[in-house]
A and B are shown apart, each in its own frame.
Chain A
């Protein structure tokens, strides 16, 4: 078996996973993949969180991405981060910069096993704040300043509006001694509401791919652009969908999903409150299904399938495309015909503070004569 096949058939424990600690958030980003905003009253307690960490330690999960919502709003956040690193679980936490003051930055600077990832979606306040809200650019930059020289990550979701700023993002990262990370916009959570107008065009995707190739391993991607491998050389990373196989999501109320971009009952494997995390990972019906050999479906006859693996399950699901067909952003354009008539799906898991209809970005009806280029 090739190594990639071993991973696609799943491991006894994740290699790393995302753990959303809270649905509460001080921001209301238009594309939030977890539709965060309001705290869920059923959130895991501090004791329950520590029990999860104990289990991750036993299972030898190496690295956890702690996110949310905004994880720093939890009063026990710093205690949990310390508990995790003291129990052999490496931590990266994803933050908008909230509560990253000089004192916290000093603590982080001294902790070798915690990575900080600051979210920013525009190299200027004008571009960023349209998506993340007024003042969010300043909050992120203030955090970067406090964390200067620590090698923290600066993570950007690539959109139609910021593709022209890739060099500027690199410059910001370099200014603060941070590592730049570019990631893919998915039509997940509130992302479903704005995907039509915010996702990069085919031409822009090509620009992103070429830019990433030029920058090699100096720019991270979280393997989120593996569907672009169909253009030619694969980008660094495993180049496969890890959902339910090597990664998954634990959400604030203990629900386990295949991945953070798939918060929908279709991809709900179970809940840790039943019997812990391990039984869900190892025995859930959903994860067993995901670990069966994938035949490629409609993509199997395409010469690119070995490279692109049929793209992102979540991107297909939320744009209403069949899971055994092309990715909506398939670089060969094979996703376009189905997209014209597909009906997008939404998740009922929604902790948005405002009703979903009220978003600052204008939603344009999907035109049926949209050119794929």
Chain B
């Protein structure tokens, strides 16, 4: 993995809101085909980090490298054009539109004559490839279960063929079976070679899918642990600051 260039790399990124230092000199990277879990307590800076990647906030200091080249991400569209797709916990879908309409929202085919047949066909192929089972592609998204909605939201982010997919709390508020469906989908993203960043509060989920666990505490990196070589206790300690963490997982 070390031989490979990270698809996305942040170097010494800092961000403050007035007197509040939300991020201090954070180094963060994701490789292709790698799932990085971003964990930390409330206010640790997870959301700020994700929003910096997604272009909602601009970093005050530090560099962002995409596939080894330095880039500026100052607007959400910059991130999208680079190939960074962000799936937010909510606010992602229009409940009054059906599955196909949501998948192609903002990138419809045929401006003056929508090509529904083609879009539905592609939507079916995409969901099939991701092993997402949805009985009726024309069902309103509002009628789907929470897990199915989350799967649709994640699937939608893949239509632009992104290099990096950022998932904000994809399993929050989901039942056991639905969580399993979403985690399986995340594994598929890894198999397809996407770099995946997952914010999660649920350490069981984190250990199930993540290759690496990146811990933030009070805006600073407090641990970068290889999932296979660490324990839940160690991660909790890094989150709470009980041990002061361990510098650099690798």
Are A and B part of the same complex? no
